[in-house]
Amino acid sequence: MQNPIESISVDIAVELGAAVMPVHQLLRMGRGAVIELETLPNEHVKVLANNMQIAEAEVVVSGDAIAVAITQIGKSEL
């Protein structure tokens, strides 16, 4: 018999990076605009469960999809 807690859904998100820009620049963006993130290539990214960091990961390609490979469980200083 399955534990009822194991059937609870959790939203998982991966935070690739962040950027700060003035509103006027944001308003001028259109299709194809590129937002440069503060994250460097090959830098670890945050894995979030219900908006709480639970792990670190590396971005990888898995077949035709982008995926993440968990490198550390728990929060560290990113």
User: Are 31 and 41 spatial neighbours (Cβ–Cβ below 8 Å)?
Assistant: no
Q: Is residue 54 part of a domain?
A: yes
Per-residue pLDDT of the chain (78 residues), as tens digits, is 788 898 899 999 999 888 999 999 999 999 999 999 888 877 899 999 999 999 999 998 889 998 999 999 986 655
Report yes or no on whether pTM surpasses 0.75.
Answer: no
Q: Is residue 78 part of a domain?
A: no
User: Are 50 and 10 spatial neighbours (Cβ–Cβ below 8 Å)?
Assistant: yes
CATH number at residue 35: 2.30.330.10
Rounded CA-CA distance 78/58 in Å is: 12
Could you list the residue range(s) of the whole structural domain that residue 62 is in? 4-73
Rounded CA-CA distance 7/11 in Å is: 13
Rounded CA-CA distance 12/78 in Å is: 18
Structural domain count of the chain = 1
